[in-house]
Amino acid sequence: MSIVIELPTTLRPFASGEAQVALNDHASFNEALGSLIARHPRLKSRLVTGSGTVYDFVSVFVNDRRVGPDEFPEITLDDGDVVTLVPAMAGG
């Protein structure tokens, strides 16, 4: 029983090249984020600010619906949920 965090291309080099990281379910979003960083510590400086919140340039989607930072504490992730991290990019 697990949830999946999908990483954008730009962050995969800091997670041993993995595109998806499976984590235990029944975690809050913040717990899942903590587990992700514990497993791949080099993601930390690229994903969260000094105060531990996700950078504003990374949009967080749960099952393809965006959730804002205010909602993070209330989110519980259940078996099969997919969290996708989408960073802003500027190329044109």
| CB of 45 vs another protein, minimal distance in Å | 8
Is 15 or 27 the residue whose CB approaches another protein more closely? 15
Is 1 or 70 the residue whose CB approaches another protein more closely? 70
Q: Which of helix, strand or coil describes residue 20?
A: strand
End-to-end CA distance of the chain: 40
**Cβ–Cβ < 8 Å for 60, 36:** no
Q: Tell me the C-alpha to C-alpha distance, in Å, between residue 5 and each of 31, 36, 50, 77, 92.
A: 12, 8, 21, 11, 27
| CB of 33 vs another protein, minimal distance in Å | 17
Is 1 or 56 the residue whose CB approaches another protein more closely? 56
Q: Which residues of the chain form contacts with another protein (CB under 8 A)?
A: 8-10, 13-14, 42, 46, 55-57, 59, 61, 64-66, 68, 84, 86-92
Q: Within 13 Å, how many C-alpha atoms sit on residue 70's CB side?
A: 0
| CB of 22 vs another protein, minimal distance in Å | 19
Is 3 or 47 the residue whose CB approaches another protein more closely? 47
